[in-house]
Amino acid sequence: MQMDYLGITGIVLGVLKQFWPVWLALALVLVASFTFKKRLGLYGHLFDSGVGIAGVMICLFWLFTAMFAAVIVTFDPLAQVAIMKDALPGAIDPQSGVAYLFGGDRLARDIFSRMVYGSRIVLIIAPAATAFALMVGTTLGLPAGYYGGRIDSVLSFLANLVLAFPVILLFYLLVTPGIMDTPIPYALAAVFFLFPIVFFAVLFFTRFKTRPERLYPLLGLTLVLGAWIYAGLVFDADPLGLISISPNQLNIFVAVVFASSPGVFRIVRGLVMDIKTRDYVAAAQTRGETPWYIMLWEILPNARGPLIVDACLRIGYTTILLGTLGYFGLGLAPESPDWGTSIKEASRLLRAQIHPALPPTIALMSFVLGLNLLADALREQSMKD
């Protein structure tokens, strides 16, 4: 059957048209950000430099792409149209009359739709895994830096033990099918997912222990929400069916947290060892504040700048790592539209026209670039403060 094709102009206009909800959302955010810049604190200051604006806009572009993926895509990312196998960019499906804007892969799936849906996977796993790694590293780094001594020695030894392992080899061991079929990932998840619950429970208790009218509702909310999320993620036992994670995603999630937490631990430990010598910490000790109050409410807020910068960079590292694992066929299911798996599938097809690996590669590169620009802007702002 003869196929029709869109020209370069048609492909470009088609892509721009499909992203209309993203352009609209970006315009609204940009107008609101400049209008209320002085009231938005650190976020508002990012719009004082071109680097900050570029970083925010690129990151928001992919965030809105993930949010509106169902509206943007032209085909189901898993749907196969036999005639569109290895189709060139702009090829029009004879049955639907809709174009494969970036062409088709070797399994006759739309590359454009897979790239768009791949952003959902990346923007769920990478930031969430980084947030949990920050929780684990911060919760362990605070006492290590504050108390020192034996606590510091034991925790630092464990962190250095993990850091001494080659990262790629460590991930390979953690996400291979043999490990995935054992209870090890779920045991690690059961431990790691407890840290946010413990962190927020201690945070609220140290702040409001003399004000039970505030303490009990906050503790109750923490425990109820924590238990709900914990049951859904670790045991897949959410009674409402809202919170769940596939075994493949859980395995990658746990691997990222396990490998990233020691780096966060070392950063937090170093910051605490420096900040605990400040006068306001001595003043809090003189007032008789407990060590955990001092760590959470005096030291941690003053360490937020470097931690925010590190979080942006770490999300970028995690995104690259997810792409690497997907390329080697580890972790996520083979049909997954994540960018790494898409690059792997496209690399098997050689043609003189636009290579099908370019869209997911450019997507991954641009998102990481946005995070790096955002981290640079945050670093400059933290130095001014």
- C-alpha 143/C-alpha 166 separation (Å) is 27
- The residue-averaged pLDDT of 31-37 equals 91
- The residue-averaged pLDDT of 337-361 equals 76
CA torsion sign for 341, 347, 349, 353 is positive
Residue 221: name the closest of 238, 204, 235, 234 by CA: 204
DSSP for 239-265, please give it: TTS-----HHHHHHHHHHHHHHHHHHH
Instruction: State what percent of residues in the chain have pLDDT above 70.
Output: 95
pLDDT higher than threshold 80 for residue 366: yes
Strands of the chain, DSSP E: 91-92, 99-100
The CATH classification number of 119-320 equals: 1.10.3720
Could you tell me the pLDDT band of residue 181, with boundaries at 50, 70 and 90? low
Q: Name the one residue in this structure whose structure tokens are 């980084």.
A: 130
Q: What is the mean pLDDT of the chain?
A: 87
Query: 92 and 4 in contact (C-beta within 8 Å)?
Result: yes
Decide which of 153 and 232 is more confident. Answer: 153
Could you tell me the pLDDT band of residue 350, with boundaries at 50, 70 and 90? low
Give the model's pLDDT for residue 104. Answer: 84
- C-alpha 336/C-alpha 334 separation (Å) is 6
Could you tell me the pLDDT band of residue 1, with boundaries at 50, 70 and 90? low
Give the model's pLDDT for residue 334. Answer: 72
Q: Are strands 91-92 and 99-100 parallel, antiparallel or unpaired?
A: antiparallel
- C-alpha 233/C-alpha 215 separation (Å) is 26
Instruction: DSSP letter for 110, please.
Output: B
Could you tell me the pLDDT band of residue 171, with boundaries at 50, 70 and 90? confident
User: For residue 277, how many other CB atoms are within 10 A of its CB?
Assistant: 8
- C-alpha 89/C-alpha 359 separation (Å) is 11
Predicted confidence (pLDDT) per residue in 159-168, tens digit: 998 888 877 7
- The residue-averaged pLDDT of 31-52 equals 88
pLDDT higher than threshold 50 for residue 352: no
Adjacent-strand bridge partners of 100: 91
Q: What is the distance of C-alpha 173 from the center of its chain?
A: 22
Sequence ranges of the chain with CATH classification 1.10.3720? 119-320
Could you tell me the pLDDT band of residue 2, with boundaries at 50, 70 and 90? low
Predicted confidence (pLDDT) per residue in 289-326, tens digit: 999 999 999 999 988 888 998 999 999 988 888 888 87
Instruction: State what percent of residues in the chain have pLDDT above 90.
Output: 44
Give the model's pLDDT for residue 59. Answer: 95
pLDDT higher than threshold 80 for residue 173: no
Query: 322 and 173 in contact (C-beta within 8 Å)?
Result: no
pTM of the model: 0.88
